[in-house]
Amino acid sequence: MKLDLSSSQALIRKLKTYFPNLTENEECIGNALSYVINGFPEIFGANIKRIREAKHVSQKEMATALGVTPSTYSYWETGSHPPRLTKVLDLIDVLSSDPCDFISDNPVLDQSEIMVNAPLYNSDFFVGKSNDNVDWLITRNVEQPTIKVSPLDCVDFVYKVSNTDMIGEERAIPLNAYAYCSFSRFKDVKNQKDRMAIANGKVALVSICSYSPTLREVKFDGTNLTLVAWNKKVKEDIFPVYSENYPVKGTIWNGGETFAHNVSIYAIVSKVVIEI
């Protein structure tokens, strides 16, 4: 069963001693928990050691249950190399504890100083890469320039806008703006139609046939994927969902027949910053 972090009010109370304006949804709570663990790894390590010993479980048994080496697990308890959030969730499950037991109230309580580094990407990084390629590279922390962001922004990476396609009459994302992007909502989502459904109604970073990416408002009705540019001079792109049972003709794009599954949806835009 998937652990629901938002169900732990005790965890939310502790996280709000770090981030008073924390949005109480699964994605933001998970990001905040991860930042706290990485910010105070010794406290996290001491807590998991205390819980493990209280349950009379050895480090070796924990490592086996979590599918990691004993040395990796030992690093977690010493605080030298804290685990990723996915492994933290596994830890919580294996030890059958409330998520709040793994962190403490903020020992600093100075919110003005809490900022984190987010990788900064331009268009060239995404060319020729699929959703899986991008997810893998970003989660592996491939060396990139970074900028400071607030953990409350729930950002996995920042994309520097490279065109004027999203400059409309009533709303605009200008050239060289910084789009805060999150792909956390796509975690473990392998089905392309499910990915499109999650992005429906939102601005996302997309790429058609692995060409240079751009921002578009995504509309998906289960049959067609529509990519909307707010700049009225840029036409909408509409791509049908391919079905073996009910064959349809694809949209001719850049000289080739193109379907919805030929569109990569890398991330959803949560915020746009014009100056940093």
- 53: buried, middle or exposed (CB in 10 Å: 19+, 13-18, 0-12)? exposed
Asked if residue 224 and residue 154 are part of one domain, the reply reads yes
Assign residue 57 the CATH number of its domain: 1.10.260.40
Angle value at C-alpha 194, between 28 and 248, nearest 5 degrees: 155
Asked if residue 153 and residue 75 are part of one domain, the reply reads no
User: Which of the given ranges, 56-60, 117-121, 244-248, has the highest pLDDT on average?
Assistant: 56-60
Asked if residue 120 and residue 171 are part of one domain, the reply reads yes
- Please give the residue that has the higher pLDDT: either 3 or 132: 3
Lowest mean pLDDT among 84-93, 110-119, 232-241: 110-119
Please tell me the distance from the alpha carbon of residue 11 to that of residue 191, in angstroms, as a whole number.
Answer: 32
- The whole domain housing 251 covers 116-273
Asked if residue 147 and residue 94 are part of one domain, the reply reads no
Provide the token pair at 135.
Answer: 């997810």
Q: Is residue 108 part of a domain?
A: no
- pLDDT given at position 131: 64
Assign residue 128 the CATH number of its domain: 2.10.109.10
Last-in-domain residue among 57, 77, 102: 102
- pLDDT given at position 16: 87
Dmax (CA) for the chain in angstroms is 66
Asked if residue 123 and residue 85 are part of one domain, the reply reads no
Q: Is residue 110 part of a domain?
A: no
Residue 156 has pLDDT above 50, yes or no: yes
Q: What is the pLDDT of residues 241-268, one digit of tens each?
A: 988 777 788 999 989 999 999 999 988 9
Provide the token pair at 145.
Answer: 């320039």
Last-in-domain residue among 102, 125, 151: 102
- pLDDT given at position 192: 85
Residues 39-52 have a mean pLDDT of: 92
pTM of the entire structure?
A: 0.60
Q: Bridge-partner residues for 226, per DSSP?
A: 219, 238
SS3 of residue 160 by DSSP: strand
Q: What is the pLDDT of residues 157-186, one digit of tens each?
A: 899 999 999 999 889 999 999 999 988 777
- pLDDT given at position 83: 92
Last-in-domain residue among 51, 70, 102: 102
Please tell me the distance from the alpha carbon of residue 42 to that of residue 90, in angstroms, as a whole number.
Answer: 19
Asked if residue 143 and residue 181 are part of one domain, the reply reads yes
Domain count, the chain: 2
Neighbours of 241 (CB within 10 A): 18
